[in-house]
Amino acid sequence: MDLVPALDEPLKKVLGPPTAKVMAEHLGLHTVGDLLHHYPRRYEERGQLTHLADLPMDEHVTVVAMVADARLHSFASAKAPRGKGQRLEVTITDGSGRLQLVFFGNGVHKPHKELLPGTRAMFAGKVSVFNRRLQLAHPAYELLRDDSEEAVESWAGALIPLYPATAKLESWKIGKAIQTVLPSAQEAVDPLPESLREGRGLVPLPEALLKIHRPHTKADIEDARARLKWDEAFVLQVALARRRHADAQLPAVARRPAPDGLLTAFDARLPFTLTEGQQQVSREIFADLATEHPMHRLLQGEVGSGKTMVALRAMLAVVDAGGQAAMLAPTEVLAQQHHRSIVEMMGELAEGGMLGGAEHATKVVLLTGSMGAAARRQALLDLVAGEAGIVIGTHALIEDKVQFHDLGLVVVDEQHRFGVEQRDALRGKGKQPPHLLVMTATPIPRTVAMTVFGDLETSVLDQLPAGRSPIASHVVPAADKPHFLARAWQRVREEVENGHQAYVVCPRIGDEEDDPKKGKAKSPEDEAEKRPPLAVLDVAEQLAKGPLQGLSVEVLHGRMHPDDKDAVMRRFAAGDTDVLVATTVIEVGVNVPNATAMVIMDADRFGVSQLHQLRGRVGRGSAPGLCLLVTEMPEASPARQRLGAVASTLDGFELSRIDLEQRREGDVLGQAQSGARTSLRMLAVIEDEEIIAEARQEAAALVERDPELTGLPGLRTALDALLDEEREQYLEKG
C-alpha cells in the first residue's frame, strides 16, 4: 500500500504548514486521524447561551453571547498623552450573567463597527479579573449571522461544537479545520470486532466520528460518545490483557515457605496479632507465590494499614524457600527507613552469619546510590553470594552491576513512581522472572486500578491495625481569620508541651535560583493571586524567631545531602527535634509515632491524595493526631471546597474519587504510571465504571481465544498506535 492512508496524512499537507505547526505544538495533533479524534469539549445550542455565571479564572474559554452595550472611552496615557488613547468596553450577556470585554488602541476600530448591541457572536479569550469584575481582554470573536448562508453552513445543525482550544487557536478555527478533514472519517478502520459492536448496538466508527463533530441532535452526540468510549476502554484493556497473557506464559520458581523456618520464627516474635485483612491478603500472596508463573499483584492499603508487615512476611517466605527478596523504595530516605524498621522488626533474625544471630537468620542489606564504596562493595558481595536474603534500596538496585544469587520476589513501594520498563529491568535480574508485589498507599478507585494497573491482580487492606489513633483535620483560613493561624501555632506548642512532636509542610524549599518567569511585570491583582508558594527555609526561620521560639525546629528537604537528611530524620525519630519543617519528602513512609500534629502551609497547592498521604504521617501512635490545612483561598473557591472534603473524611477511597472528579483523568492516569493512560479523551474513569469493567471482560475473553489478534487488523493498528504513544511518553518522562 504505497498511498498514505487518509487518516495518516500529515496535517501540514491538508491545512497548510502554519496551522499544522500550531496544532502540533499546542495540541499534539499531527495527522488527519489525530484531528478527527480531537473531540468537542461541549456543544452550544443556537438558542441557548453559555453560562457566564460560572466562568473559570485564568482559563481559555469560548462563550456564545449577545452584545448588550458597547462604549468607546478616551483616556490619556504615556503612549497617548493628549487623551487620544482609546478603550472600547463591550458588555455581553447570556441571561445567566454579564461579562465585560475590553479592546485597546488600534484594536478598537473593527470591534467598534461590528459589535453593535443585539449582535450575537462567539468570543474566546482568557478570563481575568479587573476591578473585581471578570473580563476578557482583546478576545477573538466570530459573529453568528443567522442570515448569512456561510455561517449557517459552517455551524451546520443546531449544535455548535466547542473544542478544547488554546490562545493560539480558537475553537471555531479548529472546527473549520475539522470540517476540512471530516470526509476522511469514512476511511477510519474499525478496531472493535464486529460481533462485539453489533452485540452492544454501537454505531460504526466513521458514523461516530461524523456524529461527534457534526451532530444534528443530542441523540447523535450520545450515540457517538457511547461508541468512542468503548473504543478507548476496549483498546486499552486489550493491551493490558495481552500483557497479563504474556506474563502468565513466563515460568517462575514456586516459592513455598519451609514449615518451621524464618517466617514461623518471625511470626512467633510478633508482639501483636495480624488484622483479619493482613491475614487474608497474606493468604492471597502465598497462594500466588506457590505457582509456577510470576505473581503480579498490587497491594493497596490506607496509610498505616500495615502493608509493610504483609510485604515483609512475603519476603521471609521467599527467603525460607531458598530465594532472595528485593524491596524498591522511591527515595533514599524511604529506603533507609524501611531498612531500619525491617531490621528492628526482625531483631536477631536479621543477623544472619553474625554472632548472636538466630538459627534461621538471614542478612538484610541496604543499597543506595550515596553509600560509600566499601559498604556498597560488601552489600553487592552479600547479594551475589546469597548471604543476604533481603535487600532494600532505591533505583540503584536496577543498575547492571547488581547481581543476585537467586532473586525470587521484588516488592515495589509506591508503584506510580516506577514505570513498566523498570519492572522489566528488575525482572531480568532473576534466573527466571521473579514474583512481583507492588504496594501503594494512594487509594485507587476500582476503575482506575483496572485501567492503570490492569496488568496486576489487586488486594486491598482497608482496616487499620489496633492502636492506631483517629486524626482530626481542620481548615485554617489564614486570610479571612488570621487569629485561626495564631491558634494553630499555639496548638503546636501545646502538643510539644505534652511531650509530642509536629511537622510543618511547605510546597517549596526556598533556595531556588531566580525563576526566569518571574521577570514579567504583573498587575497587582495577579500578584495577590499568585504569590510564590511558601518555602521551608523562610517558614522555619519565621517560626523559630516567632510563634515557636524556644522549641527546637529543623528543616528537611530533597536537595539536602543524603547523610544530612538521614541525620535530621534520626534526630526527629529519637525525639530530639520538636518541629520538623519539611517539603513533601515526608509524604511517604516516614514513621514517627510520637509526632501528633501537622500544619500544612498553602494546603491548596497540594492535590487531595497528596494531602491525605501527608496527613497519614501523624496519629501513628496511641495519641490522637491533628492536621491543620492552612490556606489563603476565599471561602467560595474550588480549592477551599477541596480542602473541606479532605477535612471531612479519613476515607482515602472516597477522597480519591473526589480527586478524580476534580482533575481530568489524564492527569491522574498520567501520573499513575508511565504510558498511554493520557490517551483517554472520551472515557471518564469514574462515570464509565461499567464500560471499563465490561471492556475488561470482553478483552480478556478475546485475548484468551486469539492472543495474536489474527483476524482483527483494525484492532492491531489501534494497539500499535496506543503502545507507540506509551513508549514515546515513557521516554519523554524518563
List pLDDT tens digits, range 586-610: 765 567 889 999 999 999 888 887 8
Q: For 404-433, how does the pLDDT look when each residue is reduced to its tens digit (9 = 90+)?
A: 999 999 998 875 555 666 766 776 787 888
Report pLDDT for 518: 44
Cell numbers of 513, please? 535560583
Q: Is the pLDDT score of 625 beyond 70?
A: yes
Report pLDDT for 51: 65
Q: Is the pLDDT score of 465 beyond 60?
A: yes
pLDDT average, residue stretch 684-697:
82
In the chain, % of residues over pLDDT 90: 26
Q: Give 551's Cβ-side CA count (13 Å radius).
A: 31
Q: For 275-328, how does the pLDDT look when each residue is reduced to its tens digit (9 = 90+)?
A: 888 999 999 999 999 999 999 898 988 766 788 899 999 999 999 999 999 999
Report pLDDT for 516: 40
* Helix locations, 325-480, DSSP H: 332-346, 373-385, 420-427, 446-452
Q: Could you tell me the end-to-end alpha-carbon distance of the chain, in angstroms, rounded to an integer?
A: 35
CA dihedral 664, 667, 669, 671 (to 10 degrees): -160
| Distances in whole angstroms, Cα of residue 305 to Cα of each of 49, 148, 461 | 50, 66, 6
CA-nearest of 181, 170, 172 to 154 is 172
Rounded to two decimals, the pTM is 0.64
Q: Indicate the pLDDT class of residue 437, thresholds 50, 70 and 90.
A: very high
Report pLDDT for 4: 52
Range in 33-42, 52-61, 181-190, 265-274 with the lowest mean pLDDT:
52-61
Q: Indicate the pLDDT class of residue 553, thresholds 50, 70 and 90.
A: very high
Q: Indicate the pLDDT class of residue 153, thresholds 50, 70 and 90.
A: very low
| Distances in whole angstroms, Cα of residue 494 to Cα of each of 379, 390, 497, 578, 592 | 45, 42, 5, 11, 18
pLDDT average, residue stretch 614-627:
84
Report pLDDT for 681: 72
Q: Is the pLDDT score of 442 beyond 90?
A: no
Cell numbers of 553, please? 525546629
475 versus 162: the higher-pLDDT residue is 475
Rounded to an integer, what distance in angstroms lies between the CA atom of residue 378 and that of residue 76? 77
Q: Indicate the pLDDT class of residue 527, thresholds 50, 70 and 90.
A: very low
Residue 712 is classified by DSSP as -
* Helix locations, 157-217, DSSP H: 171-181, 194-199, 205-213
Percentages of the chain per state (helix, strand, coil), in multiples of 5: 45, 20, 35
The whole-chain average pLDDT of the chain stands at 81
Report pLDDT for 628: 94
Q: Which residues pair with 130 in a beta bridge?
A: 133
Cβ atoms < 10 Å from Cβ of 101: 22
Q: For 343-385, how does the pLDDT look when each residue is reduced to its tens digit (9 = 90+)?
A: 988 988 888 766 556 677 899 999 988 888 899 999 999 999 9
| Distances in whole angstroms, Cα of residue 205 to Cα of each of 13, 197, 330, 677 | 24, 10, 42, 21
pLDDT average, residue stretch 717-726:
73
Q: Indicate the pLDDT class of residue 525, thresholds 50, 70 and 90.
A: very low
Report pLDDT for 505: 92
| Distances in whole angstroms, Cα of residue 524 to Cα of each of 138, 358, 521, 529 | 20, 68, 9, 9
Residue 169 is classified by DSSP as B
Report pLDDT for 661: 65
Match 512481583 to its residue by C-alpha cell: 436
Q: For 64-112, how does the pLDDT look when each residue is reduced to its tens digit (9 = 90+)?
A: 888 999 998 887 666 666 667 788 999 998 777 788 999 988 888 889 9
Taking a C-beta distance cutoff of 8 angstroms, is the pair 241, 247 a contact? no
CA-nearest of 170, 250, 180 to 214 is 180
124-138, 351-365, 663-677, range with greatest mean pLDDT: 124-138
| Distances in whole angstroms, Cα of residue 102 to Cα of each of 66, 73, 127, 142, 538 | 15, 11, 12, 16, 40
Report pLDDT for 47: 44
Q: Is the pLDDT score of 19 beyond 80?
A: yes
Rounded to an integer, what distance in angstroms lies between the CA atom of residue 45 and that of residue 555? 56
| Distances in whole angstroms, Cα of residue 577 to Cα of each of 502, 537, 563, 592 | 9, 16, 17, 12
